[in-house]
Amino acid sequence: MKITEVTTYRVPPRWMFVKIETDEGVAGWGEPVIEGKARTVETAVHELAVYIMGQDPSRINDLWQVMYRGGFYRGGAILMSAIAGIDQALWDIKGKVLGVPVYQLLGGLVRDRMKTYSWVGGDRPGDIIANINTMREAGIDTFKMNGTEELRIVDNARAVDAAVARIAGIREAFGTDIEFGIDFHGRVAAPMAKVLLRELEPFRPLFVEEPVLAEQAEYYPRLADSTSIPLAAGERMFSRFEFKHVFERGGIAIVQPDLSHAGGITECLRIAGMAEAYDIALAPHCPLGPVALAACLQIDFVSHNAVLQEQSMGIHYNKGAELLDYVTNPEDFRLEQGYIAPLPKPGLGVDMDEDRIIAASRHAPDWRNPLWRHPDGSVAEW
């Protein structure tokens, strides 16, 4: 079997799909994207396609190494996202050729269902109580939200009180009938992280995510020493070679590699295994589309330390298309009390509606996150 075609489709709301075709009629799908840099990743996918055209798609490990090492420069958000989507498509092809879901190729199920969580509130964490009430009607009981709005490197008591009051209101409304993680989203600098973690401690969130920016990872162990709240990170780390420093330094209780940013199934499976050796939980990051989620679930169902799966149903980013709009087997992604069952179909387990994707790709937005500024006019982390 040989790879004959690599086609990319940028589609609303901010996703991109890659379709890899072969000379035997089997095609695989992936979702290579960095939110806000879809065109850049698209170019990277086609630059990498030169290495895989005409090659045997079954040799995933070799193609991965060629794409990672063959071009001298390596790593980072763009290249690892491009490799991720191609890798996902290659695993999709392999499963389809062999007639089994990818998780069967990785040793079979370690669990019968996977717990997911949903985003509530938006860029500015608002309407959280109403959002939670709506989602609880669908049986969802685990959530994530932004912890703050813009926050200065050193900010004042009012900003801290606003963040705390929001979380206090959730516990007051729902007690421990629901659980939630708080995403600091990189908006909190090291000086304020310790302050906020202390003030949030009494509300016992499941985790605090990106307590500081990934480039400040050396603070993770110090922050972990200052709080009992499990700290989570990983969406802005792109390979084993970045995660290994976090494992060695400690401080992170939950790693959140993104299957569409960190080299795909091949790389994230290794990251999951490394994390387990350090008694670190796995909660793949996935605010993206259906192929990214399907790839996450393949890892979740073979990883003992997988605890939670992010999924984007109803997320504030999905303007113009919802999670399953481009999928012809949405029933396989049904949530039961927030849990999702193993995807039954061969490969990644997601059947893509290519006609709908082609039509949508004709008006793909160039989504970018908003540029925030502090009152003094300086750039604020979004």
Ligand X SMILES: O=C(O)[C@H](O)[C@@H](O)[C@@H](O)[C@H](O)CO
Q: Is 24 annotated as a binding residue?
A: no
Residue 87 or 209 having the CB closest to Mg ion? 209
209 is in an annotated binding site: yes
285 is catalytic: yes
Closest CA to 299 of 276, 279, 318, 330: 276
CB nearer to ligand X: pick between 94 and 144: 144
| Residue 374 is a catalytic residue | no
Q: How far is the CB of 22 from Mg ion (least distance, A)?
A: 35
Distance (Å, rounded) from C-alpha 77 to C-alpha 79? 6
Minimum CB distance to ligand X smaller for 67 or for 229: 229
Nearer to ligand X, 13 or 95 (CB): 13
**Residue 280, H or E segment:** none
Q: How far is the CB of 320 from ligand X (least distance, A)?
A: 15
List the x/- string, 300-319, binding to ligand X by CB under 6 A: ----------x------x--
Closest residue by Cα to residue 192 from 167, 236, 160 = 160
Residue bearing tokens 């009180």: 161
15, 18, 26, 35: residue in contact with ligand X (rule CB under 6 A): 35
* Contacts to Mg ion by CB under 5 A: 183, 209
Q: Is 201 within any annotated ligand binding site?
A: no
Residue 287 binds which of ligand X, Mg ion, none (CB < 5-8 A, kind-dependent): ligand X
Q: Is 235 in the site for ligand X (CB under 6 A)?
A: yes
Binders of ligand X among residues 130 to 189 (CB under 6 A) are 183, 185
Residue among 196, 282, 192, 271 nearest 232 (CA): 282
Measured in whole angstroms, how far is the alpha carbon of residue 46 from the centre of its chain? 23
DSSP one-letter string for 324-367: TTTBS-GGGG-EETTEEPPP-SSBTS--B-HHHHHHHHTT----
Exactly one of 65, 337, 369, 378 binds ligand X (CB under 6 A); which one?
Answer: 369
Contacting residues toward ligand X, per CB under 6 A: 35-36, 183, 185, 235, 285, 287, 310, 317, 369
Residues assigned a catalytic role:
185, 285
